[in-house]
Amino acid sequence: LKEMSKLFRAVILGPPGSGKGTISERVANSFGLKHLSSGDFLRENIAAKTEAGVLAKTYIEKGALVPDHVMTRLMLPRLEEMTRHSWLLDGFPRTLAQAEALNSACELDVVISLNIPLETLKERLRHRWIHPASGRVYNMRFNPPRVQGVDDISGEPLIQHEDDRPEALVARLRHYKDVAKPVIDLYRAKGILHMFSDTETDRIWPYVSSLLSTKIPTDLGDAQRVR
Ligand code: G5P
C-alpha cells in the first residue's frame, strides 16, 4: 500500500469576534482541510443534550469558558477520529491546560494567531446576540437573523449576553488575553506561531492564504478527495 501522504494540522487562535470562524471557513474551502470548531461541537452537544452539552450550556449562557476537563474530554476523541484527515482547529485550545492536552495527542504544523485591536472587537461584539437554548450566535450587522430579534430555527427570542454589553466587554477581552498569553508563548517557543494583525479579515486573509500555500503539501487536496 502506498505510504499515506503527509497530513497537515493547524490551530487558529483569537479572541471572541476576531474572525476565527470566518477565516477557518475560507481555509477549509481553499485548501480542503476539515474545519473543526469547538463552538460548533459545543452547540451540537447542547442540541443533543449530552452530558457535556448540558454542563457546557450553563457556562456559555454566562459568557464564561467551559472548564478544561469538559473541553478536552469533548475535543480529543473528535481528533482521534480524524487521524486520516488534515484539519484546522478553531476555538481549541483556549487555555494552557488545553494546549498541553492537545500537545500530548498530536503534533501541530502551524498556529495562526489573530491579533485584532480591542476597539474593533468591541465594535463587532456589541452587535452580537445569541439564542440561549442552542448557543446559535447572530451579529445584527454582519449575519442578522431573518426576523429581527428572533432565532431562525426555533422562532424564540434572542438575548444579548451581559458579557457582550459594552461595560463588561473590555473586562472579558482582557481576561481572554491573560488566558491566551501562555498558549501563544508556548507555540511561539515551538516556532510554529504566525501572528496576523489588522482590523479587517479581508486584509488578513491573503497573508494566511499565502502562508498556508507554502506549508500544505500539494497532494493534500487529492489525497482527501479520493476518500
Ligand atoms: P465560539 O463559538 O468559539 P467565540 O466567542 O470565541 O465563539 P466567535 O464569536 O465565533 O468566537 P470568531 O469565530 O473569532 O468569533 O469570529 P467570527 O465568527 O468569524 O467573526 C465574528 C463576527 O465578526 C461575525 O459576525 C463576522 O461576520 C464578523 N466579522 C468577521 N470578520 C470581519 C471583518 O473583517 N470586518 C467586520 N466588520 N466584521 C467581521 O465559542 C462559543 C463559546 O463556547 C465556549 C465559550 O464559552 C465560548 O464563549 N468555548 C470554550 N470554552 C472553553 N474552552 C474552549 N476551548 C472553548 N471553545 C468554546
Ligand 1 site residues, Cβ closer than 6 angstroms: 14, 16-22, 38-39, 42, 59-60, 64-66, 71, 91-92, 94, 98, 124, 137, 139, 142-143, 200-202
**How many A from CA of 20 to the centre of ligand 1?**
6
Residue 227 predicted with pLDDT over 70:
no
Contacts of 50 (CB under 8 A, 6+ apart): none
Element (H, E) at 44: helix 38-47
For residue 33, how many other CB atoms are within 10 A of its CB? 24
Q: Is 112 exposed, middle or buried (0-12, 13-18, 19+ CB in 10 A)?
A: buried
Q: Which of 98-102, 123-127, 144-148, 202-206 has the lowest mean pLDDT?
A: 123-127
What pLDDT is recorded for position 45?
93
Higher pLDDT, 165 or 203: 203
Q: What is the distance between the alpha carbons of residues 26 and 3, in angstroms, rounded to a whole number?
A: 29
User: Is 222's pLDDT higher than 60?
Assistant: no
pLDDT digits (tens, 9 = 90+) for 3-23: 445 899 999 999 988 999 999
In the reported structure, the alpha carbon of residue 15 is separated from the centroid of ligand 1 by a whole-number distance in angstroms of 7
Cα 108 to middle of ligand 1, angstroms: 22
98, 134 contact by CB (below 8 A): no
Q: What percent of the chain has pLDDT over 90?
A: 66
Tell me the mean pLDDT in the region 135-155.
90
The pTM of the full predicted model, rounded to 2 decimals, is 0.88
Joined together, the cell numbers standing for residue 31 give 485548501
| Ligand 1 centre distance from Cα of residue 125 (Å) | 9
Residues 6+ apart with CB under 8 A from 202: none
Q: How confident is the model at residue 68 (pLDDT cuts 50, 70, 90)?
A: very high
3-state secondary structure of 218: coil
Distance, in Å, from the CA atom of 140 to the CA atom of 15, rounded to the nearest integer, reads 19
3 state SS for 86-151: CEEEECCCCCHHHHHHHHHHCCCCEEEEEECCHHHHHHHHCCEEEECCCCEEEECCCECCCECCEC
What mean pLDDT is predicted for residues 177-199? 97
What pLDDT is attached to residue 220? Answer: 52
Residue-wise pLDDT tens digits, 209-218: 999 999 987 6
The ipTM is 0.94
